[in-house]
C-alpha cells in the first residue's frame, strides 16, 4: 500500500501533507525547517508513523520553467532525504503553490510571512502532493 508524504521545503518550516492508496491529500503538520533544531527527527517521526513509501518534494522553478535560486538547496535536501530514508523521492514543480495556498486559506494568512503556524506551508505541501497524484 502506498503512503505519500508531500513536502514544502523551507529553512524555517517544512510543510507536510500525506495521502494513502485512496489518493486523497490531507495536510499533516509543519516541522522545523532545515535551519532549525529537530528537523530530521521530526521528519523521521512522520515517515515512521505514517509508514511512508514515497516522498514528494516541491521543486522551485521560475515561471519560465528555469531552475530557481533555491534549486541547489533543495537538491541537497533531497540528497539527504535519500540517504536518511532510502525512499523514492519525486520532484514536483512548486510554482505558485505558496501563493495559491495563501489565497485559499485567506484571512490573516493571506499576507506573505503572516503565517507562523505553518498552515500555509502544509496547504502548499498538499498542493504539491495533489499535483503529483493527479499525474
Minimal CA–CA distance to 20: which of 65, 63, 69, 54? 54
Instruction: Name which of 37-51, 61-75, 111-125 the model is least confident about.
Output: 111-125
* pLDDT given for residue 52 in this prediction: 98
pLDDT in tens, 77-111: 999 999 999 999 999 987 655 655 555 665 554 44
**Using 50, 70 and 90 to split pLDDT, how confident is the model at 39?**
very high
What are the residue ranges spanned by the domains of the chain?
A: 4-134
Q: What's the CA gap between 103 and 18, in Å, rounded?
A: 21
Burial of 41 (0-12, 13-18, 19+ CB in 10 A): exposed
Q: How far apart are CA 25 and CA 41, in angstroms?
A: 23
Percent pLDDT > 70 in the chain is 81
Top CATH class of 4-134 equals: alpha beta
SS3 of residue 124 by DSSP? helix
CB 15 within 8 A of CB 8: yes
Q: Determine the length of the chain.
A: 135
Amino acid at each position: 500500500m502506498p503512503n505519500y508524504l508531500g513536502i514544502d521545503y523551507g529553512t524555517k518550516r517544512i510543510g507536510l501533507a500525506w495521502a494513502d492508496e485512496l489518493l486523497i491529500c490531507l495536510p499533516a503538520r509543519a516541522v522545523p525547517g532545515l535551519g532549525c533544531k529537530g528537523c530530521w527527527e521530526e521528519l523521521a517521526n512522520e515517515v515512521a508513523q505514517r509508514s511512508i513509501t514515497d516522498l514528494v518534494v516541491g521543486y522551485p522553478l521560475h515561471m519560465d520553467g528555469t531552475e530557481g535560486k533555491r534549486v541547489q538547496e533543495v537538491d541537497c535536501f533531497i540528497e539527504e532525504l535519500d540517504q536518511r530514508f532510502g525512499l523514492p523521492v519525486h520532484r514536483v514543480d512548486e510554482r505558485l503553490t505558496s501563493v495559491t495556498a495563501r489565497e485559499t486559506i485567506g484571512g490573516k494568512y493571506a499576507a506573505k510571512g503572516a503565517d507562523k503556524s505553518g498552515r500555509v506551508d502544509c496547504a502548499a505541501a498538499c498542493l504539491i502532493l495533489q499535483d503529483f497524484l493527479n499525474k
